[in-house]
Structure 1
Amino acid sequence: MNKTALIFGVSGQDGAYLAKFLLDRGYSVYGTSRQTYIDNFYKLNISHLVHIFNVNLESYFEIEQLIISINPNEIYYLASQSSVAMSFKLPAETIKSCTLGLLNILETCRNHQVKTKIYNAGSSECFGDSLGIPICEKTIFAPKSPYAIGKSSSHWLVQTYRDAYSMFVCTGFLFNHESRLRPDTFVTKKIISTAQRIVAGSKETLILGRLDIYRDWGFAPEYVEAMWKILQAQEPDDFIIATGVSYSLKDFVINVFENLNLDWEKYTRQSEEFFRPNELLVSRADPSKAEQKLKWRAQKTMPETVKCMLYELDK
């Protein structure tokens, strides 16, 4: 029998790649989206295969009706405001988007004794600045933004419902992962898009905030496989999903411009306008648990991911 998956936040980068990954494995895929614009589906040639619903995540009734009608084998909760910078401007909306929809899903499954496996999208931001020490699943949370607070709260919901009600619910703490589907509001895609316009003849300057921040950048299509593997495990558990290699934002910029044979210093400058109120300087990961228990390991680190973004590759 084919499995059925319900993806909350299906039209974003991760949702679209996850939908394609599941469709390729014979799943029937349903999803929710705040957007009627589903360009990512057209880019992946799956627009005719995903059943999309517009649901108010803050409405228990709407989520209950959707889950009961679909009766999915797996639920993936990816529906949250995902920009750290934007979370400082929209703190209440960001925290609600991380938590209320997930809570309504958990309550629906508990109240109706639905045995669906549930994946929650956590974030490396939950752990704050590790001061260069690799983050593992036992690292204490130290959120530094409204987004990180929301993601930390969502995981505490996961822990509570898993422990109190023996539900199969898991969190994947995904470190930064990029692709051609990223919107230009993300700094990685902003760098890529600006450099491509410059090489095509634009006279603009790339303006950035701090260049000395370190992140673990991976390739999004690989990370959705990790999400799926988390729900295929025998027991519910939580996992760090990352490459294990961190680079500075300066390294990222240099890599992009070198790929296009451009002098990065000629076309970039820094501005305090793009400094965050509370910046996470160094983010490093220890993804060994995922490799040991899920047999999952990232194949692409930052340099390979940059090339995939520049040349719009999905593998």
Structure 2
Amino acid sequence: MAQKTAFITGITGQDGSYLAELLLEKGYDVHGMVRRASTEKFDRIEHLREKITLHQADLLDHRSLVDALRASKPDEIYNLAAMSFVAVSWVQPTLTAEFTGVSVTRILEAMREVCPEARFYQASSSEMFGKVLEVPQTEDTPFYPRSPYGVAKAYGHFITVNYRESYDLHATSGILFNHESPRRGLEFVTRKVTWHAAAIKHGLREKLYLGNLDAQRDWGYAKDYVEAMWLMLQQDKADDYVIATNETNTVERCVEVAFDEAGLGDWKQYVEIDPQFVRPAEVDLLIGSYEKAERDLGWKPKTSFEELIRLMTRSDLELLKK
């Protein structure tokens, strides 16, 4: 069987790095897209640098996307790049619209021009459900985004569906609910919690400042979720899938588990509420049903919420020990 080639935008991110590892294990020739920046941030893929090919391109620049696809000749394209932090989308709403929304059109256009027979994966998001209209959310739940990020993701989602139906492209969207790992950025609440639990344990910090402790999310493990992305592109027919755990946990529960794993007694003495971390519009109960993914792809989550938070806390304890 001929070796397959994959092209990943956002390869330096959490999902991109895990996906690159998975595809290398499966024998793929892996190519990734990186933006030219004055400070290169490759820490998540440093251990893979010798095994992958990187192309400089930018989601805001159509020409560079065409050149990168021409050079890599992919069988599969995974579009994971975006302005991925919801809070920043309130500060930079227009840039979020360009990067997270309109750029999906640019890469689909580049694909149509260069490699229309390739298979395309779009990273959609549970933030598109926002003010949820049913619980749990499925592929048929209407979207009601509550942030510029959610709105931009909804555009990216629908343009992918549109290109699939208009140009007969094999274009799939994975509607992924929150997924975390030791490679998650420190601005995300789960990693903020596990890092601070470790830092307090090592005497490097005294307090953890948080917003809404009652906020509930459906949190899964990024390593499990990238496998779902790959499975989607192995199907004969492109379709859209919710990837979630169908369970919900609060930020408070995350704190409890992390501080327990770090061997700290009562977490309440270390945690303070700071109004600056409360969102202008909070999303309601995000909880996703993975029923269709299990039926069509044979996928289901392998890692429980508690296991996930414990493994992240252990990783941060190890990281900060150095």
- TM value normalised by structure 2: 0.93
Matched residue SS, 1:197: helix
Q: CA deviation at 1:21?
A: 0.4
Structure 1 segments, 4+ long, off by >4 Å, are none
Matched residue SS, 2:77: strand
Query: In the alignment, residue 72 of structure 1 is paired with which amino acid?
Result: P
2:260 equivalent in structure 1: 258
Q: How far apart, CA to CA, are the structure 2 residues paired with 1:301 and 1:7?
A: 27
1:90 equivalent in structure 2: 92
1:7 touches 1:32 (CA, 8 Å); kept in 2? yes
Q: How far apart, CA to CA, are the structure 2 residues paired with 1:274 and 1:60?
A: 36
Matched residue SS, 2:31: strand
Q: CA deviation at 1:113?
A: 5.7
Q: CA deviation at 1:203?
A: 4.7
Q: How far apart, CA to CA, are the structure 2 residues paired with 1:5 and 1:212?
A: 40
**What is the RMSD computed on CA atoms of the aligned residues?**
1.4
Q: How far apart, CA to CA, are the structure 1 residues paired with 2:212 and 2:177?
A: 19
Q: How far apart, CA to CA, are the structure 2 residues paired with 1:224 and 1:113?
A: 23
Q: How far apart, CA to CA, are the structure 2 residues paired with 1:131 and 1:105?
A: 31
- TM value normalised by structure 1: 0.95
2:119 equivalent in structure 1: 117
2:285 equivalent in structure 1: 282
Query: In the alignment, residue 108 of structure 2 is paired with which amino acid?
Result: L
Does residue 39 of structure 1 match 2:43? yes
Relative to structure 1, is the Cα distance of residues 108 and 276 closer, same or farther in structure 2, using a 3 angstrom cutoff?
same
Worse overlay, 95-104 or 107-116: 107-116
Q: How far apart, CA to CA, are the structure 1 residues paired with 2:280 and 2:43?
A: 32
Once the two structures are superposed, the pairs formed by residues 295-306 of structure 1 within 5 Å of their partners are 295-306=298-309
Q: How far apart, CA to CA, are the structure 1 residues paired with 2:114 and 2:24?
A: 27
1:14 touches 1:224 (CA, 8 Å); kept in 2? yes
Q: CA deviation at 1:9?
A: 0.8
Q: How far apart, CA to CA, are the structure 2 residues paired with 1:71 and 1:261?
A: 50
2:27 equivalent in structure 1: 26
Q: How far apart, CA to CA, are the structure 2 residues paired with 1:218 and 1:191?
A: 16
Q: How far apart, CA to CA, are the structure 2 residues paired with 1:203 and 1:109?
A: 48
Q: How far apart, CA to CA, are the structure 2 residues paired with 1:111 and 1:2?
A: 23
2:139 equivalent in structure 1: 137
Q: How far apart, CA to CA, are the structure 2 residues paired with 1:105 and 1:247?
A: 35
Of residues 272, 280, 295 in structure 2, which corresponds to 1:269?
A: 272
Of residues 204, 217, 220 in structure 1, which corresponds to 2:219?
A: 217
2:54 equivalent in structure 1: 52
* Per-residue CA distance 1:28-74 (angstroms, 9 max, x = gap): 111112352200013xx212111112212122111111112221000
Q: CA deviation at 1:134?
A: 0.2
Matched residue SS, 1:130: coil
Relative to structure 1, is the Cα distance of residues 131 and 207 closer, same or farther in structure 2, using a 3 angstrom cutoff?
farther
Q: CA deviation at 1:131?
A: 6.7
1:308 equivalent in structure 2: 311
Query: In the alignment, residue 239 of structure 1 is paired with which amino acid?
Result: Y
Q: Which runs of 5+ in 1 are unaligned?
A: none
Q: How far apart, CA to CA, are the structure 2 residues paired with 1:33 and 1:210?
A: 34
Does residue 76 of structure 1 match 2:59? no
Does residue 6 of structure 1 match 2:13? no
Relative to structure 1, is the Cα distance of residues 4 and 112 closer, same or farther in structure 2, using a 3 angstrom cutoff?
closer
1:216 touches 1:244 (CA, 8 Å); kept in 2? yes
2:228 equivalent in structure 1: 226
Q: Which runs of 5+ in 2 are unaligned?
A: 317-322
Q: CA deviation at 1:187?
A: 1.2
Of residues 138, 148, 161 in structure 1, which corresponds to 2:150?
A: 148
Q: What count of residue pairs does the alignment treat as equivalent?
A: 311
1:245 touches 1:301 (CA, 8 Å); kept in 2? no
* Per-residue CA distance 1:173-226 (angstroms, 9 max, x = gap): 110111111121111111111110111123521000001111011111110000
2:12 touches 2:42 (CA, 8 Å); kept in 1? yes
